[in-house]
Amino acid sequence: MTYDVAAVRSHYPALAGGEAFFDGPGGTQVPRPVVQAVAGTLAGPVSNRGPLTRPQRAADQVVAGCRSALADLLGADPEGVVFGRSMTDLTYDVARVLARSWAPGDEVVVSRLDHDANVRPWVQAAEAAGATVRWADFDPETAELHPEHLHAVLTGRTRLVAVTAASNVLGTVPDVPSLAAAAHDAGALVYVDGVHHAAHALPDLAGSGADFYTCSPYKFGGPHCGVVAAAPSLLEELRPDKLLPSTDRVPERFELGTLPYELMAGTTAAIDFLASLDPTGAADRRARLAGAYAAVEAHEERLRTRIEEALADRDDAIVWSRAARRTSTLYFTLHGRAPADVHAALGERDVSISSGHCYAWEPCQRLGLGETGAIRVGLAPYTDDSDVDRLLEGLADLGRGSRRGAGA
């Protein structure tokens, strides 16, 4: 069955505005069921969680429903799903609690391919504990982070390896199972940033070998919040700061204050919406999600190829996204054009892209792109051929403008 992008698009209220959105890696547009779930939860009746009243039980159900949906999405145990304000926030929390057991002589590995949210919390926690930070490089020519890059910095003192499941600029999808196996052989825990990855490929906490896997629902049609999943037995071993009267149960031990029920309901709705894109009609939600991701991936890859071919035809474009396995996100520069100017010029035509370092601070330094970064174009389940036409026309007009300028 072919992917019916027109039907998919009909569920996104924001698309009625006429914008062509290529800024999904920064945050996607949201389908109507998510909007309704958020509003419906706020409309209530809903109270603080508890067993005594209907509104209390409603809140309980929202929380249980959200953990169950995220568990299906992440291949995790619902009791190991921690909900939070953002991936960045959660990563600082986990880094602080893990670092309590680090001492001078211990080592922490971060990668040059990662978004800063999976770098700085570890660097700062290591500094506070007196531990040493080691950097796993990637190959700027190929945009690949291979297991050899990790082997070069792993030692018997490595306590943690933080690595991305997909770069939010280059799209590179490293071989996380091999990286995790190497880290485990060295006795280290593995913290995987799945924020970009989960928007494009079905995550698999258990199968990937990750000890922690993070995602942010606003990257796949949900509300603005973050999640980290781990085995409940691992969470049991950790003792984060918490209030005295709040429960010590896992995963609640890590969730400070009252949970955002409306965002949790919106997250469940986002996952159910994704599952509804499954063309195979599978019986359980995880299988439907697998079918949906495969269908969306094929659709996005076809559109990505169109954009790549157009960029390959230009003599002024350098495409930095080159890894063999990568998402449908392209990061490129146009000779003589500041990324922010391209961003603004396309914005004039109601084509939304991203520009700059996109918080991929280390990758940009490694590629020699500095703080200026590059132009980022990302595809989402709602992107269609007419969006791509508009993007390519906008880029072509820039090209013509630059050649005219050069000749003048």
Q: Is 173 in the site for ligand PLP (CB under 6 A)?
A: no
> Distance between alpha carbon 210 and the CA centroid of its chain, in Å?
15
Q: Could you tell me how many residues of this chain bind ligand PLP (CB under 6 A)?
A: 14
DSSP labels for 118-134?
Answer: GTHHHHHHHHHHTPEEE
Of the two residues 337 and 352, which places its CB atom closer to ligand PLP in the complex? 352
Of the two residues 226 and 399, which places its CB atom closer to ligand PLP in the complex? 226
Binding residues for ligand PLP restricted to 137-166, rule: CB under 6 A? 164
Q: Is 195 in the site for ligand PLP (CB under 6 A)?
A: yes
Which span sits near ligand PLP by CB under 6 A: 115-123, 132-140, 339-347, 363-371? 115-123
Member of 41, 88, 111, 355 binding ligand PLP (CB under 6 A) = 88
Measured between alpha carbons, how far is 71 from 246 in angstroms, rounded to an integer? 23
Q: Is 94 in the site for ligand PLP (CB under 6 A)?
A: no
DSSP labels for 298-367?
Answer: HHHHHHHHHHHHHHHT-SSEEE----SSB-SEEEEEETTB-HHHHHHHHHHTTEE-EEE-TT-HHHHHHT
Burial group, residue 206, by CB count within 10 angstroms (0-12, 13-18, 19+):
middle
Backbone φ and ψ of 319, nearest 5°:
-100, 120
Of the two residues 329 and 398, which places its CB atom closer to ligand PLP in the complex? 329
Neighbouring residues of 294: CB distance < 8 A, sequence distance ≥ 6: none
Measure Cα distances from 189 to 179, 182, 183, 237, 316 in Å. Answer: 11, 10, 7, 13, 43
Of the two residues 288 and 376, which places its CB atom closer to ligand PLP in the complex? 376
Measured between alpha carbons, how far is 295 from 1 in angstroms, rounded to an integer? 9
Member of 46, 87, 186, 289 binding ligand PLP (CB under 6 A) = 87
Q: Is 193 in the site for ligand PLP (CB under 6 A)?
A: yes
Q: Is 172 in the site for ligand PLP (CB under 6 A)?
A: no
Measured between alpha carbons, how far is 308 from 301 in angstroms, rounded to an integer? 10
Q: Is 23 in the site for ligand PLP (CB under 6 A)?
A: no
Q: Is 86 in the site for ligand PLP (CB under 6 A)?
A: yes
Q: Is 196 in the site for ligand PLP (CB under 6 A)?
A: yes
Q: Is 112 in the site for ligand PLP (CB under 6 A)?
A: no
Of the two residues 73 and 317, which places its CB atom closer to ligand PLP in the complex? 73
Task: Report the nearest approach of ligand PLP to the CB of residue 335 (Å).
Answer: 27
Of the two residues 3 and 212, which places its CB atom closer to ligand PLP in the complex? 212
- In terms of DSSP bridges, do strands 189-193 and 132-136 run parallel, antiparallel, or are they unpaired? unpaired
Is there a contact between 59 and 46 (Cβ–Cβ < 8 Å)?
A: yes
Q: Is 168 in the site for ligand PLP (CB under 6 A)?
A: yes
Member of 8, 94, 117, 398 binding ligand PLP (CB under 6 A) = 117
Binding residues for ligand PLP restricted to 339-368, rule: CB under 6 A? 359
Of the two residues 278 and 329, which places its CB atom closer to ligand PLP in the complex? 329
The first and second tokens of residue 76, run together, are: 């995790």
Task: Report the nearest approach of ligand PLP to the CB of residue 199 (Å).
Answer: 9
Chain residues in the site for ligand PLP (CB under 6 A): 86-88, 115, 117-118, 164, 168, 193, 195-196, 216, 226, 359
